Amino acid sequence: MEILGNLFYGLGIALSPENLLMALIGVVLGVAIGAMPGLGSVNGVAILLPITYAVPPTSAIIFLAAIYYGAMYGGAISSITLNIPGASTAVATTFDGYPLAQKGQAADALVTAAVASFIGGTISIVLFTFFAPPLAEFALRFGPPEEFAVVFLAYGTFAGLGGESPIKTLIATMMGLLMSTVGTDIVSGSPRLIFADITGFYHGINFLVLAIGLYGVGEIFYTLEGGMQARERYQAKMGIREIAATIRDLRRYTTTLLRGSLLGFFVGMLPAAGATPASFMSYSIAKRFSKESVQFGKGTIEGVAAPECANNAASTGAMLPMLTLGIPGSPTTAVMLGALYVWGLVPGPRLFIENADFVWGLTGSLYIANALAVLVALFAIPFFIWMLRMPMTILAPVILVVCAVGGFSPTQDMFDVYLMFFFGAIGYFFRKLDYPLAPMVLALVLGGLTERTFRQSLIISHGSIGIFFDFSGHPIAATLMWLSVATFAVPVISYFLGKRRLKF
């Protein structure tokens, strides 16, 4: 097998002492940056890019990939311990991770997140190693109608995220979509919903601002209700034995992990979709098929495993179109693509031939970085548990300050910090009144892509909606569309057939 030979060659490059050191530093930095609210992998990679200028491209990409992986793990840490998603990819991890932490099982959740990520990442890397070029061909077949169909399918999974009241779920979803329309209308190029001519609206409502506001700041308000002194933080225990037990326990969820990883890889590979929808889809599919689906949202290990394996799998998947086609599958890979150009490499099929050292060194390092990341994450767990033991009266103000800094950093605009505080208030009211928050966040993430691909498709088809259902012209789109129609229809039909226990 030629590929195996190449792979060992790549592993050899990745295992050279200086590259190993780069990977280790990258992973540690990545975990730290990912755990900080506001700074996900995108900002991590962009900010640390200058550090790579001093080393050769192969070491540099190894460093960036390590940051990317580390940040994916780190995001889960703040999701679980503080209910603040470090990045959009980690939002779904809060659903069960935080309830677990509140029950005193933070360590279990953290271990699960690390191991599930490792599994997702590894499966994805194996697929990447063996099938990169043919899969790139496949990804090329996704134009606007196909992309819209994928997103549409993702909406089918919203059903799993709702609260008790369907009408309130609807409101939350529509609010998220509405927020995604603020800024510039891509199709006409005109400014849209710029209230009171505030420049801060020009760049649209940043996902992180909403997520940190709703979850982070809102959570603090919610906690304050009991008075800061009154709240006793839970005790969490942690040791090698607990870790081993949790890992052994994970075997029960093999199907969930496998499904989530495959799903993550394929969704991540499609340009523009990325890891966030993948993690949501994996979560709600796991919920639908789980034997313990009532436990979802109340703190179950499976609810942490599902999104975490998917988002890591997707982050590897997103590298595939970046290297083979020169199109980024996620915002982070967009920055890495920039780096590629800076180093004078041209992505595309020829990269695999002309810069084999680079490509196989990177592939090898993906295996190494993934393994290192799980180790670093496991070693970091005691530190985060220690942090959780701090009294709320110290933790709450510090978190608020970090949220403010985190909200400011990506756009350098104080307006975003004001907006974040405002979303904190909304988050507080919505939580108390049973409006679900997750659909709002996911709708904001998907909204722009949905509208854009839908309208691009219609411009291409001259206004005919038939483009989405045309089996001869767009077979992939049509298949996906009918599949999503079925996804929507099944719960509705079963509801009317009287199976009321099937919640959606």
Partner 1 sequence: MNSRNWTRRFTHLWIVALALVITAAWSLPSAEAAWKPTRPIEFVIMAGKGGGADRIARLMQKIVTQNNWSPQPLVPINKKGGSGAEAMLYMKSKQGNPHVILVTLNSFFTTPALRKLPVSYKNFTPIYRLAMDTFLLWVNKKSGITNVDQFVKAVKAKGGKWTMGGTGKMQEDQLVTNMLSQAYGLKGLITYVPFRGGGTVAKNLAGGHLDSTVNNPAEGLPHTPNKMVPIAALTPKRIPAFPNVPTFAELGKPSLVYFMMRSINAPGGIPAGATKWYSNLFTKLCNSDAWKTYTKKKALNRACLTGGPLASFFADEDVKHKKLLKGMGLIK
Partner 2 sequence: MRLMDRAVAAVLFLIGLCVAWKSTELPIGILPKEGPGGGFLPFWLSLGISLAAAGVFVQSFFGGSAEGEGADAPAEEPFISWESFTDILRVGIPGLIMILLTSTISIYFASAAFVFYCLFYVGRHGLKTSLSVAVGVPIGVFFIFEKFLIIPLPKGFAEPLFYLEWGSFF
Half-sphere exposure for 175 (CA within 13 Å, toward CB): 19
As a whole number of angstroms, the distance between CA 339 and CA 222 comes to 42
Other Cβ atoms closer than 10 A to 291: 8
Q: Which residues are CB-neighbours of 382 under 8 A, at least 6 positions away?
A: 238
Q: Does 497 bind partner 1 (CB under 8 A)?
A: no
Among 401, 483, 486, 492, binds partner 2 (CB under 8 A): 401
Closest CA to 283 of 451, 120, 125: 120
- Kindly identify the residues of this chain, within the stretch 433-452, that bind partner 1 according to CB under 8 A: 452
Residue closer to partner 1 (CB basis): 203 or 231: 203
Residue 346 CB, nearest approach to partner 1 (Å): 6
SS3 at position 472? coil
Among 164, 229, 240, 344, binds partner 1 (CB under 8 A): 344
- Report how far Cα 154 is from the mean position of its chain's Cα atoms: 14
Q: Does 196 bind partner 1 (CB under 8 A)?
A: no
From first CA to last CA, the distance across the chain in angstroms is 48
As a whole number of angstroms, the distance between CA 375 and CA 381 comes to 10
As a whole number of angstroms, the distance between CA 484 and CA 298 comes to 27
Other Cβ atoms closer than 10 A to 235: 10
Among partner 2, partner 1, none, what does residue 54 contact (CB within 5–8 Å per kind)? Answer: partner 1
Residue closer to partner 1 (CB basis): 100 or 318: 318
Residue 190 CB, nearest approach to partner 2 (Å): 6
Q: Does 144 bind partner 1 (CB under 8 A)?
A: yes
As a whole number of angstroms, the distance between CA 261 and CA 445 comes to 21
Residue 466 CB, nearest approach to partner 2 (Å): 12
Residue that is written with structure tokens 């990545």 in the block: 30
Contact (Cβ atoms closer than 8 angstroms) between residue 62 and residue 14: yes
How many residues bind partner 2 (CB under 8 A)? The answer is 61
As a whole number of angstroms, the distance between CA 63 and CA 18 comes to 11
Residue 499 CB, nearest approach to partner 2 (Å): 18
Give me the DSSP letters along 418-455: HHHHHHHHHHHHHHHTT--SHHHHHHHHHHHHHHHHHH
Q: Does 56 bind partner 1 (CB under 8 A)?
A: no
Residue 408 CB, nearest approach to partner 2 (Å): 7
Residue 64 CB, nearest approach to partner 2 (Å): 15
Residue closer to partner 1 (CB basis): 157 or 330: 330
As a whole number of angstroms, the distance between CA 444 and CA 280 comes to 13
Residue closer to partner 1 (CB basis): 393 or 464: 464
> How many residues in total does the chain contain?
504
- Kindly identify the residues of this chain, within the stretch 297-326, that bind partner 1 according to CB under 8 A: 321, 325-326
Q: Tokens in use for 198?
A: 């505030």
Q: Which residues are CB-neighbours of 232 under 8 A, at least 6 positions away?
A: none
- Kindly identify the residues of this chain, within the stretch 228-287, that bind partner 1 according to CB under 8 A: 271-272
Q: Does 491 bind partner 1 (CB under 8 A)?
A: no
Taking CB under 8 A as the binding criterion, the range among 68-76, 166-174, 240-248, 341-349 that sits at the site for partner 2 is: 166-174
Among partner 1, partner 2, none, what does residue 203 contact (CB within 5–8 Å per kind)? Answer: partner 1
Among partner 1, partner 2, none, what does residue 432 contact (CB within 5–8 Å per kind)? Answer: partner 2
**H-run or E-run covering 172:** helix 166-180
Binding to partner 1 by CB under 8 A, coded x per residue (else -) over 367-386, reads --------------------
Residue 199 CB, nearest approach to partner 1 (Å): 5
Residue closer to partner 2 (CB basis): 96 or 451: 451
Q: How many helices (H) and strands (E) does the chain have?
A: 22, 2
- Kindly identify the residues of this chain, within the stretch 20-79, that bind partner 2 according to CB under 8 A: 39, 47-48, 50
Binding to partner 1 by CB under 8 A, coded x per residue (else -) over 64-103, reads ----------------------------------------
Q: Does 199 bind partner 2 (CB under 8 A)?
A: no
Q: Tokens in use for 371?
A: 């393994």
Q: Does 22 bind partner 1 (CB under 8 A)?
A: no
φ, ψ dihedrals at 192, nearest 5°: -140, 135
- Kindly identify the residues of this chain, within the stretch 211-240, that bind partner 2 according to CB under 8 A: 220-221, 224-229
As a whole number of angstroms, the distance between CA 10 and CA 84 comes to 37
Contact (Cβ atoms closer than 8 angstroms) between residue 74 and residue 30: yes
Residue that is written with structure tokens 């969490």 in the block: 236
As a whole number of angstroms, the distance between CA 13 and CA 484 comes to 44
Residues found near partner 1 in the complex (CB under 8 A): 42, 46, 49-50, 53-54, 140-144, 183-184, 186-189, 191, 199, 201-204, 271-272, 321, 325-328, 331, 333-335, 337-339, 341-342, 344, 346-350, 411-412, 452, 456, 459-460, 462
Residues found near partner 2 in the complex (CB under 8 A): 39, 47-48, 50, 164-165, 167-168, 170-171, 174-175, 177-178, 181, 185, 187-188, 190, 192-193, 195, 220-221, 224-229, 391, 393-394, 396-398, 400-402, 404-405, 408-409, 412, 414, 417-418, 421, 428-429, 432-434, 451, 454-455, 457-459, 462-463
